Amino acid sequence: MAERFASVDDVIERLRKVDYLADPSIAGVVYLADRLEKPILVEGPAGVGKTELAKSVAAATGARLIRLQCYEGLDESKALYEWNYKKQLLRIQADREHESDWAEVEADIFSEPFLLTRPLLEAIRATEPVVLLIDEVDRVEIETEALLLEVLSDFQVSIPELGTITGAQRPIVILTSNNTRELSEALKRRCLFLHIDYPTLEREREIVRVRVPEIDAALAEQVAQVVRSVRALDVKKAPSISETIDWARTLLHLGRHEVDSRTIGDTLHVLLKYQSDITRARKDLGVDGPPAVPLKR
């Protein structure tokens, strides 16, 4: 790969160029993953930028992002490869007239032109730089995880009819998990572990300023403060970074340059998505009372 990371600072700087603010721990693990050629398993609450990290690493290294979205019921024909059986059927039918040797036909229909590549195989066979994102890996059943093991440890795939296909290069592999279930030991063992939590006040403020460039520093600071306050409450779903950004944009559109309790009360539904959470936050932040303008929901 041409564009490897030279140091941890290099990671921070290059991610910053693509508008991703990595804290030292994120940058450290990305650097290690690049060096040790090991996949990263990213865990953390929803909306802290796990998937975004993969996209940004791809953008920063000039690599193509190959994404495998996991879901319950994912199997190898969707994740790895599948034989194009319609094409195989056509080939066999076409052959009836020529009466050629069956062994020859068989060798033919189980060759590369009849192979449909799926994300994992595609990543292995890629010759240009790629970043492989395996998103929400906790959604597949524990048995399906085994599919990933060969890819993750040796970066190869064994296809019975073709043999083993080994990748020409070791791309950066990023797996994300929302921790809805415990992943298997075997999978974890093969990965570096990175936990991303909600950002600190300073980092969140910077993120807001980078993602909403029109915002002024004082408002960004206030936005970050309010969000920190709300997260500290015992709410069902704490605001994610993208919700923070949405909120900052909302404030700009409303033409507010300062956050007061009235504004918070009116726009809280951008940050919180459960009615019970909104009620709770209103009470706790002292913005109780009827909303000035009844908002349509």
Partner 1 sequence: MTNWAKIPDALARYGTGRPPDEPPRPDPESLLDVLQGFVHELRAANLPVSMTENLDAMRAVEEVGLSDRALLREALAATLIKQERHRPVFDVVFDVYFSPFSTGIDGGPAGPDVGDDDAVEPGPGAPGAPGGGAMGELTPEELAEMLLAALMSMDADAMRRLAAEAVTRFAGMEPGRPVGGTYYLYRTLRRLDYDGLLERMLSRAVDAGQLGDDDLEQRFAREEMGERLRKLRDMVESEIRRRLVADRGVEAMARTLRRPLPEDVDFMHASREEMRELQRAIYPLTRALAARLAQRRRRRRRGHLDFRATVRHSLSYGGVPAEPKFRHPRPSKPEIMVIADISGSVASFARFTLQFVYAMASQFSKVRSWVFIDGIDEVTSYFTESGDLVEAIHKVNTEADVVWVDGHSDYGHAIEVFHQRHAHEVTPKTSIILLGDARNNYHATQAALLGDLRRRGRHLYWLNPEPKGYWDSGDSVMGEYAAYCDGAYECRNLRQLQRFVATVVDH
Which residues within the stretch 49-88 sit at the binding site for partner 1 (CB under 8 A)? 72
Span from 10-18, 111-119, 158-166, 185-193 in contact with partner 1 (CB under 8 A): 185-193
H or E element at residue 41:
strand 40-43
Asked if residue 264 binds partner 1 (CB under 8 A), the reply is yes
Residue 193's closest CA among 13, 23, 44, 11?
44
Q: Which is nearer to partner 1, 69 or 276 (CB)?
A: 276
Q: Edge-to-edge, what's the strand order for the sheet holding 130-135?
A: 64-69, 130-135, 172-177, 40-43, 192-195
Q: Kindly report the number of other CB atoms within 10 A of residue 165's CB atom.
A: 18
Q: Which is nearer to partner 1, 66 or 194 (CB)?
A: 194
Selected binder of partner 1 within 97, 99, 214, 234 (CB under 8 A): 234
Asked if residue 15 binds partner 1 (CB under 8 A), the reply is no
Which residues within the stretch 186-215 sit at the binding site for partner 1 (CB under 8 A)? 188-195, 201
Residues 69-85 as b/e (b if ≥16 CB within 10 A, e otherwise) read: ebeeebebebbbbbeee
Span from 97-105, 118-126, 167-175, 255-263 in contact with partner 1 (CB under 8 A): 255-263
Shortest distance (Å) from residue 254 CB to partner 1:
17
Residues 195-206 as b/e (b if ≥16 CB within 10 A, e otherwise) read: ebebbeeeebbb
Asked if residue 28 binds partner 1 (CB under 8 A), the reply is yes
Shortest distance (Å) from residue 108 CB to partner 1:
31
Q: How far is CA 131 from the centre of its chain?
A: 11
Shortest distance (Å) from residue 286 CB to partner 1:
5
